[in-house]
């Protein structure tokens, strides 16, 4: 099979028939063998009934329905596991992503050799309250991930080599960082294509401003996992040792200063009357706790079943 199209959806009953017809027209025009996997994320409208009707009309349309709303990442992960195509295309169900982009995305994967191609909605039809935070979010994601050629990490329209989606796990709200997940899994041939962005035709957006706050937290999680996921002691141990050493030096200085004044017969105060003494003790306690956190993290990591799981690209026997 040439292409698998994965469409996560939540309360998009009005747009699904038009989207399915549009995808079918594009696929038929180019002679692709294909499947459309519609992942119903616990919709409360008639979305699932629409998907079942579309399947009766066109067997290439398939569906998976969750009992409740889990989020876009679980929907994508479930869809990825079920795909059979050589190239996997993801797009949103709200008709803001154009299926006319599929042929070029497919060509970039199969002919240009990309592992992943992400869409870039260069000209957006979203309000300013959404576009400005998006620009700041993408700038931060580029800096932290090291994928400097992507301008729109959160674009739902992406193309993947089948091997990529079978080797990554999209969980929580990590759908925003699929390129980063792919890079961490060793798939670093990541490209970008300017795609057409359409104004929403039906319904309303399912995402609020809280996604930007959560997005930054998820980005920090991914960065930490990529850098220190299998060696937490390198982070917590180093930070804890530095903090303990700083506190210890401060305690020595406070005590030494008192001894100096005593030796010279100068007036002096008790060590416990100095605020620096308590700050130093706090630093030493925090340093010890951080060090122990790293130590416990190492113990957990060493006993993890995936501690020696490495992505192998090729093997000669």
Residue 309 above 90 pLDDT?
A: no
Question: Which tokens hold the place of 13?
Answer: 């009953």
Question: Which tokens hold the place of 46?
Answer: 């008639």
Question: Which tokens hold the place of 141?
Answer: 């994601």
Per residue in 64-93, pLDDT (tens digit) is 999 999 999 999 999 999 999 999 999 999
pLDDT band of residue 127 (cuts 50, 70, 90) is: low
Residue 52 above 60 pLDDT?
A: yes
Best CA proximity match to 90, nearest among 48, 118, 51 = 118
Give the β-pairing of 87-90 and 3-9: parallel
On the CB side of 178, how many CA atoms lie within 13 Å of its CA?
Answer: 30
Backbone angles phi, psi at 159, to 5 degrees: -125, 140
Residue 44 has a CB neighbour count (10 Å cut-off) of 9
Q: What is d(CA 216, CA 141) in angstroms, rounded to the nearest whole number? A: 8
Per residue in 156-184, pLDDT (tens digit) is 999 999 999 999 989 888 888 999 999 98
Span 230-240, average pLDDT:
85
Span 141-150, average pLDDT:
89
Residue 41 above 60 pLDDT?
A: yes
β-bridge partners, 34: 3
Residue 119 above 70 pLDDT?
A: yes
The pLDDT mean for the chain works out to: 86
Per residue in 194-224, pLDDT (tens digit) is 998 776 666 666 555 566 677 777 777 778 7
Residue 100 above 60 pLDDT?
A: yes
Buried b (16+ CB within 10 A) or exposed e, 261-278: eeeeeeeeeeeeebeebe
Q: Give me the pLDDT at residue 314, please.
A: 58
């Amino acid at each position: 099979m040439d292409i698998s199209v994965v469409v996560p959806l939540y309360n998009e009953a009005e747009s699904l028939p038009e989207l399915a017809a549009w995808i079918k027209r594009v696929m038929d025009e180019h002679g692709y063998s294909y499947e459309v996997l519609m992942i119903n994320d616990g919709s409360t409208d008639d979305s699932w009934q629409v998907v079942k009707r579309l399947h009766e009309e066109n067997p290439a349309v398939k569906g998976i329905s969750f009992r409740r709303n889990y989020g876009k990442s679980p929907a994508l992960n479930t869809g990825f596991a079920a795909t059979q195509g050589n190239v996997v295309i993801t797009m949103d169900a709200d008709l803001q992503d154009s299926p006319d982009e599929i042929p070029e995305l497919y060509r970039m994967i199969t002919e240009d050799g990309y592992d992943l191609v992400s869409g870039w909605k260069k000209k957006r039809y979203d309000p300013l309250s959404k576009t400005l935070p998006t620009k700041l979010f993408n700038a931060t994601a580029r800096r932290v991930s090291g994928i400097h050629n992507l301008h729109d990490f959160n674009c739902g329209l992406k193309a993947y080599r089948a091997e990529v989606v079978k080797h990554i796990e999209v969980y929580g709200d990590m759908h925003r960082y699929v390129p980063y997940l792919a890079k961490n899994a060793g798939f670093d041939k990541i490209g970008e294509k300017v795609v057409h962005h359409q104004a929403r035709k039906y319904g309303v957006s399912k995402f609020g401003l809280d996604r930007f706050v959560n997005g930054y937290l998820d980005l920090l999680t991914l960065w930490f996992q990529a850098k220190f996921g299998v060696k937490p002691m390198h982070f917590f141990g180093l930070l804890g040792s530095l903090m303990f050493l700083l506190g210890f030096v401060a305690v020595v200085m406070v005590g030494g200063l008192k001894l100096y004044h005593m030796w010279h017969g100068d007036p002096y105060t008790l060590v416990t009357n100095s605020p620096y003494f308590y700050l130093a003790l706090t630093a030493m306690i925090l340093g010890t706790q951080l060090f122990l956190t790293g130590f416990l993290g190492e113990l957990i990591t060493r006993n993890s079943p995936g501690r020696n799981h490495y992505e192998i690209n090729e093997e000669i026997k």
